[in-house]
Amino acid sequence: MLKIRQIILGFSFFTLTHCFATQEATDSFAKVDAYFVQHYNIGNRWLGQHTRPILVVNGFLYQLYTKNGSVQNFNSLVTPFNELKAISHIGPGIYAIASAHWRDPANSQWQTELKEYQAKIQQALKQVKNIDWNNPAWPGKGGDLEKFMADSLQMADHFITQILQKKTFTVADYQLFSQHYMHTMLATMYLADLANTKYVLNQLKIWKQQLGDAEWKKLYVLIMGSKGRTTSELTLKTNTAALTVASTMNPKQAQSNIIIMPMVADFNHAQGSLGAIINSKQLAFATFTTPKAQNATGIYNALLTATIPLARDNVVHIVDKSTLKQRINLPYIGILPKDRGFLP
């Protein structure tokens, strides 16, 4: 019995010691990586702080950080952008109220909500003449636009009155309204974009002239936050701010220097992220010095491109091979005589 206890105690001690040893070994490797992260991030921060000029776009706010330490900014929300947007959204606004009723016909709350929305539309109608509908994008057309806005609000108001009197609201009712209101929804959205985009382009051209072509070619553009649907505006081809700024650059610069950062909340974070992007390029140039190395696994191109994960090509290869049930080739694990390098 004593011998069995000794065996059990000995096994337990071995297991405990082995666990401690395993944790100690794991910690030692973690410390190696943590040291890399610590010093690599120092480089990221330094590069981010010393890279200028930078144009930061956060929603509708544009800020230009220059070499001399100055910061210029403008807000691209210009009259009557918000007013046009509000009228464009009336169609979807009515839909949002009605769709809750369509999902649950027993829910009669839609009538109360539609009355509340109508009251807001009627109040806006009273204020139409107090809005300046003029804009440099449509010179001399402010009066025409004012009448168009009044007609659109009246159309929505009359439709809601009819629905409330009918006391039923079907999908067919909404579809009939949308056919009549479609021109308003599309026209107001286009005009809002026209006012915003023309204003931004003019301001960017002023900044470009101030900096000069040589400095503008060095410009990095950091697009933070998100507008509208959080799954949209995530690429250079879909982000409206990126499309606007890119028109003032050559295509190669736009591709490499406009960076979309939807998860970044403030300038310090954005600046650090930019430093990391620049640092990865410099790391690539310093590390992958031969064509063979550069073409090996896609890591070189990923380091040069902010939107490509380092593991992309590896994972694509592994997934493809696995899907086709093909053999996955392992890298040669061994050191050839010519590759012994600094080994003794």
Tell me, letter by letter, the H, E, C secondary structure of 211-232: HCHHHHCCCEEEEECCCCCCCC
Query: Which amino acid belongs to residue 174?
Result: Y
Cβ contact 114:163 at 8 Å: yes
- The one-character DSSP state at 337 is G
- The one-character DSSP state at 138 is S
Copy the structure tokens of residue 308.
């490509």
Question: Is the model's pTM score more than 0.85?
Answer: yes
H helical segments located in the chain: 2-50, 81-88, 90-103, 109-126, 142-166, 171-211, 213-216, 240-246, 251-257, 267-287, 291-294, 299-304, 312-323
pLDDT tens digits in sequence order for the chain, 344 residues long = 545 555 554 545 445 555 566 888 999 999 999 999 999 999 999 999 999 999 999 999 999 999 999 999 999 999 999 999 999 999 999 999 999 999 999 888 999 999 999 999 999 999 999 999 999 999 999 999 999 999 999 999 999 999 999 999 999 999 999 999 999 999 999 999 999 999 999 999 999 999 999 999 999 999 998 777 888 999 999 999 999 999 999 999 999 999 999 889 899 999 999 999 999 999 999 999 999 999 988 999 999 999 999 999 999 999 999 999 898 888 877 776 667 777 77
Cβ contact 239:254 at 8 Å: no
Q: Which long-range contacts (CB under 8 A, 24 or more apart) does 46-50 make?
A: 46/275, 47/274, 47/275, 47/278, 47/279, 48/271, 48/272, 48/273, 48/274, 48/275, 48/276, 48/278, 49/271, 49/275
Please report, for residues 85, 131, 148, 271, the alpha-carbon distance to residue 125 in angstroms, rounded to integers and kept in the order given. Answer: 15, 11, 11, 45
Q: Which long-range contacts (CB under 8 A, 24 or more apart) does 91-98 make?
A: 91/177, 91/178, 91/181, 91/182, 91/184, 91/185, 92/185, 93/117, 94/156, 94/159, 94/160, 94/174, 94/177, 95/174, 95/178, 98/169, 98/171, 98/173, 98/174
CB atoms inside a 10 Å sphere around CB 319? 10
Count, residues in the chain: 344
Cβ contact 229:197 at 8 Å: no
Q: How far is CA 143 from the centre of its chain?
A: 37
Q: How far apart are CA 262 and CA 94, in angstroms?
A: 30
Cβ contact 151:188 at 8 Å: no
For 222, phi then psi, to 5°, come to -110, 115
Please compute, for residue 169, the number of CA atoms within 13 A of its CA located in the half-sphere on the CB side: 30
